């Protein structure tokens, strides 16, 4: 990306994060997609080995956590979880 476009790109990303809307039926579909993505990762021995390596090597550093997040937190997010988070 050219240097001149960085400001616009950040504005677009910030708007998408802070002002997005998702109808309830779409939210349910997206949660199912996320569950499938987690399942694919759990079924991949290379990915699991990498996660275990990072979890062991970086026990106190955020590198120990998978980029996609943790399933136990992700599937329990309420529909309005983003609004609750933003209100803090």
Rounded average pLDDT over 25-46: 90
Residue 61 above 90 pLDDT? Answer: yes
Q: Which residue is it, tokens 């779409």? A: 26
| Rounded to 5°, angle at Cα 56 from 55 and 61 | 60
Report pTM. 0.59
pLDDT, residue 39, reads 93
Q: Within a 10 A sphere around the Cβ of 58, how many other Cβ atoms? A: 12
Dump pLDDT digits (tens) for 19-33.
878 788 888 888 899
Contacts of 64 (CB under 8 A, 6+ apart): 54, 55, 57, 58
């Amino acid at each position: 990306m050219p240097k001149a476009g960085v400001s616009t790109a950040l504005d677009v990303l910030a708007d998408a994060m802070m002002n997005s809307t998702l109808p309830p039926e779409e939210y349910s579909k997206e949660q199912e997609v996320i569950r499938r993505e987690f399942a694919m990762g759990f079924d991949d021995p290379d990915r699991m080995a990498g996660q275990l390596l990072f979890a062991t090597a970086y026990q106190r550093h955020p590198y120990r956590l998978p980029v996609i997040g943790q399933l136990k937190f992700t599937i329990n997010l309420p529909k309005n979880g983003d609004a609750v988070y933003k209100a803090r």
